[in-house]
A and B are shown apart, each in its own frame.
Chain A
Amino acid sequence: MDRSSANFDEMFAADGGVRPGYADFCGWYDEQDPKWLQRKDAEADDSFRRTGITFNVYGEDEAEERLIPFDMVPRIITAAEWRKVTKGIEQRVSAINSLLYDLYHRQEIIRAGRIPARLFQDNAAWLQQMVGFTPPGGIYTHIVGIDLVRTGPDEFFVLEDNARTPSGVSYMLENRETMMSMFPELFSRVAVESVSNYPRRLARSLAACAPAATNGKPKVAVLTPGIFNSAYFEHAFLADQMGAELVEASDLRVVGGRVQMRTTRGFEPVDVLYRRVDDEYLDPLTFNPDSMLGVPGIMDVYRAGGITIANAPGAGVADDKAIYSFMPEIVEFYTGQKPLLPNVQTWRCADEDSLAYVLDNLAELVVKEVHGSGGYGMLIGPTSSKKEIADFRKKLTANPQNYIAQPTLSLSTCPIFTKKGLAPRHVDLRPFVLVSPNGVDITPGGLTRVALKQGSLVVNSSQGGGTKDTWVLKD
C-alpha cells in the first residue's frame, strides 16, 4: 500500500515502519498467501449472512436485510493507549450522569452560569416528568457509546456522546467471533483482550440497578420495536446472550402497580427494562396520547419505583450536539478536573460570532444538525459541491441554533483488505460503557467503523461504512 499518508495511520508510521501494536499482526499477514486471504474475505460475508447478522434498511423493498461490510484487518489498540482512553471515558461518563442528575434536580450548573438554561429548555429530549425524580441507583445512562476519533499518536477526541440507545455492540461481539473462526492461529500469536463477556457484564450491570420493588433475582427484559426495526438483530442477540426476555410493548401491561409481561403462565413483573425504543414510544399516556405504541402507565410505575428503565427517559438531553459543545465545562464542573479526552473544536451557530465564522468558512467545515444522527442532514464542506454549500447556507441562516460546525478533522486511517492489498481508510471508534452503582465498566474493545470509500470521512453504516474487529492488546 501507499504508506505515506497525510493522516495518522494506525498501522504504519510516517517512515513506512509498522507501529509496535501491529507488529505481530503484520508478521502473520505477510506470511499469508494473498489468494487464500481473498477467499477468506469472501467467506466472511457468507458467515454473517448465515448467522443473520443483518440490518434492515428503511424504505427498501428489495433486499430488505443488508450486511454491514466487514473488513478483516483488525484495528489494534495497545494496552497503554487503552488505559488512557478508558480513564478519559470514565471521567466523561461520570460527568454526563452527574449532569443529568443536576439538570433534573437543583440545576447547580445553570445557577453557576456555566451553561445556558436554553440548552435544556429548547431541548426536545428534555422530560418535565423526570424533574425531582431519581432513577434507581441514581443512574441515568446505563449504556453509553462514546464515539472517538484519532488524529495523532496521542490525540484522541470525543466526536459524539451517545446517551440514549447506542447500538452496534453486537458487531463488536460478532466481528470477534468471525475473526476467531476465520483466523484462529492469529489469536494464539497475538494476546488480545476478550470481549465475549460483554453480555454477562451488561446483565450484571442492569441487575445492579434493579428497583426497590424487585422480589428475588431481578428480571431483565429487552424492549424492541419489533422485527422490522433496523437493529432488531442486535436486540434479539443481546436478549439471547443475557438470558433475558425480548419483549415488544404489546407484551407489556401495567398490572397491580408493576409492569408485567404476558407469559405462557400469565403476567410476570419485569424489574429492569433495557429499552431499545425512543422515549416517545415508551408511554402513550406521557408522551403522545394519540399513539397506540408503548406501555400505557409505565412512567407512573417508573416514578413509583416499580421498574428501572435503561437508559432513563430524558437522558437524551445530555447527548445532543449543543450540549456536546459545553462538555469541557461540564466535565470540569462535576469532576473538578480538566477533561482527559478533549472535544473536537465546535462552533455553536447559535452564537452570532461563531455563525459569522462558520458562514465564511463553510467550504472547510463540517456542519451538523444539533439533534441529527446517523450522518444525515450534515454538510462536509471540503467534499461538497458549490451548489450543496449554497443550499446548506440557506438552511443554516434560516435556523442557526439548529447547527454546530466543526473543522474537518484529519481522521486516522487504518488499512482495509482489498484485492490489491492493504489500503488506508478513515476510521472511528465506539467503545461501549456500562454504568451502575458499582461503577463504570468498559469492555476492552469496541466498534471500529470504517469509511470504505477512499478518502471518505463518513463511517456510518447507513452511508456505506463498514466495521472492523477492534483489538485491545494485553500488556
Chain B
Amino acid sequence: MLGRTANGLFWMFRYLERAENTARLLDAGIRLALTRDLATAEEEWRSVITVTGQRRLYEANHDGYAGADAWNFILRGKDNPVNVREMFGAVRQNARMARNAISGEVWEAVNESWMRLEKLLARPVGQSAVGEVVRAIRLAGTLVHGALEGSMLRNEGYHFARAGTFVERADSTARLLDIKYYLLLPSLNYVGSSLDNGQWDTVLRSVGGDRAYSWLNAGQMDARGIVEFLVLDDRFPRSLAYCHGALRDHLFALARLHGTDAGSNQLMREADINISDTTVEAIFEQGLHEFLVQFEAANAEIGQAIAEDYRFLA
C-alpha cells in the first residue's frame, strides 16, 4: 500500500473519531445545561469549548457562553477551523484519497453520512435540532465502523484505520479527563471525596460511559472510581487501557505484516507498561494531571512513529 494511502486511512479514522467524540461531549453539555441554572450552564459550555481546545478562538469572537452560540461554534462555526463539519469533510476527503483501499461499503457509509451532515449543518442549528445533529454524527461513526468491520479485508489498510481510531480515542479520553477533572476540583483536597454527582455524570456521558459505570460500580460516584474506570478498566472501550490494548494489537499486526519490529512497537511496549503496571493509587500519588500529560505525550509520539515507520509522508 502507498504510504500516502496509509496516511489517508489513518487520518480518516482519526477525524471520524474526533467528530464522534465532539458529538458526545456536546451531548453531555446539552443535557447538563438543561438540568441546571443559567450560570452553571454557561460554566458547562465554557468547559465544553475548553475541552475542544478552542477557548481562546471562541472568546475572541463571542461574548459569553450562550448554548446555541457554543454548539454552533463547535458544529459549524466559520471562525472555528476544527468544527465538526470540517472534521467530517476531512473524513470524506481522506476517504476519497484512499478510495481504492477501502471497500465500497465503507465509502458509501462515509459519503452518505457526509451528505446527511452537510444538509443538517447547512444552516445554524437551533435548540430543537441540535439533538438530531448530535445523533447523526454518532450514527455516522457507527455506520462507518460497522462497514469497516463487516466488509474490509484484514490487511494493512484495516490496521491503519483502527490504529488511527485508537490513537485519537485515547487522546480524547485523556484530554477530557484532564480538563474536566481540573475544572471540577475546587482544590486538591477534594481528591477522593464524594463530589457533585451531576458533574461527574457529565464526564461519563461525554465518553458514553455513564450506564456502564453505574452498572459496574452500583452508582458509587467518586473521583477514584471514575479515574479507575476511564484509565485502567480495559472492559470499557473508551478507557485509556482499552485504547492502548487495541492499538498495541493493531501495531503488532502491522509489524507482523511488514516483517519488521518498527519503532512504533517499541514505544507502544513502553506505554503499555506505564498503564498495566500502575494502580489508581499510584496515579494519584504521581498526580493525575502529570500522569495524563505523560500519557498524551507518549500517545502522540506513537502516532508520529507510525507515520515514520510506514512512510506516510515523502
List residues of chain A with CB under 8 Å of any chain B CB: 49-52, 227, 232, 236-237, 239-240, 244-248, 250-251, 261-266
**Chain A CB within 8 A of B1 CB:** yes
Instruction: With CB as the reference atom, state the residue of chain A lying closest to B8.
Output: A227
CA distance A247 to B2 in the complex (A): 8
Within 8 A of A (CB), among B259-314: 310-311, 314
- Which of B2, B96, B311 touches A227 (beta carbons < 8 Å)? B96
The answer to whether B96 touches A51, judged by C-beta atoms less than 8 angstroms apart, is no
User: Which of B2, B4, B115 has the most C-beta atoms of chain A within 10 angstroms of its own C-beta?
Assistant: B2
CA distance A53 to B104 in the complex (A): 12
**Chain A CB within 8 A of B224 CB:** no
Task: Label chain B's interface by main secondary structure.
Answer: helix
Inter-chain pairs besides A245-B1, A264-B310, 15 sampled, C-beta below 8 Å: A50-B115, A51-B108, A52-B107, A236-B96, A239-B100, A245-B2, A245-B5, A250-B314, A251-B2, A251-B4, A262-B3, A263-B1, A264-B3, A264-B156, A266-B311
With A50-B111, A50-B112, A51-B111 known as contacts, the answer to whether A264 contacts B1 (CB < 8 A) is yes
In the assembled complex, how far is the CB of residue A231 from the closest CB belonging to chain B, in whole angstroms?
13
List residues of chain B with CB under 8 Å of any chain A CB: 1-6, 93, 96-97, 99-100, 104, 107-108, 111-112, 115, 156, 258, 310-311, 314
User: Which of A248, A265, A266 has the most C-beta atoms of chain B within 10 angstroms of its own C-beta?
Assistant: A265
Q: State the 4 A-B residue pairs at the shortest beta-carbon distance, nearest first.
A: A240-B100, A236-B99, A264-B310, A239-B100
In the assembled complex, how far is the CB of residue A323 from the closest CB belonging to chain B, in whole angstroms?
35
CA distance A451 to B156 in the complex (A): 45
The answer to whether A250 touches B93, judged by C-beta atoms less than 8 angstroms apart, is no
Instruction: With CB as the reference atom, state the residue of chain A lying closest to B95.
Output: A52
Instruction: With CB as the reference atom, state the residue of chain B lying closest to A268.
Output: B2
Contacts of B5 in A (CB 8 A): 245-246
User: Which of B93, B99, B258 has the most C-beta atoms of chain A within 10 angstroms of its own C-beta?
Assistant: B99
Contacts of B311 in A (CB 8 A): 262-264, 266
Contacts of A261 in B (CB 8 A): 2
Instruction: With CB as the reference atom, state the residue of chain A lying closest to B7.
Output: A264
In the assembled complex, how far is the CB of residue A206 from the closest CB belonging to chain B, in whole angstroms?
16
Question: 23 A-B contacts, Cβ less than 8 Å apart?
Answer: A51-B108, A51-B111, A227-B93, A227-B97, A236-B99, A237-B99, A245-B2, A246-B2, A246-B5, A246-B99, A246-B100, A247-B2, A248-B4, A250-B4, A262-B2, A262-B311, A263-B3, A263-B311, A264-B3, A264-B6, A264-B156, A265-B258, A266-B311
CA distance A239 to B96 in the complex (A): 12
The answer to whether B96 touches A262, judged by C-beta atoms less than 8 angstroms apart, is no
Contacts of B96 in A (CB 8 A): 52, 227, 232, 236
Contacts of A265 in B (CB 8 A): 258
Contacts of B156 in A (CB 8 A): 264
Contacts of B1 in A (CB 8 A): 245, 263-264
Instruction: With CB as the reference atom, state the residue of chain A lying closest to B160.
Output: A264
The answer to whether B258 touches A264, judged by C-beta atoms less than 8 angstroms apart, is yes
CA distance A295 to B100 in the complex (A): 22
In the assembled complex, how far is the CB of residue A300 from the closest CB belonging to chain B, in whole angstroms?
21
Contacts of B99 in A (CB 8 A): 236-237, 239-240, 246
CA distance A50 to B112 in the complex (A): 6
CA distance A247 to B112 in the complex (A): 26
Contacts of A251 in B (CB 8 A): 2-4, 314
In the assembled complex, how far is the CB of residue B124 from the closest CB belonging to chain A, in whole angstroms?
18
Contacts of B108 in A (CB 8 A): 50-52
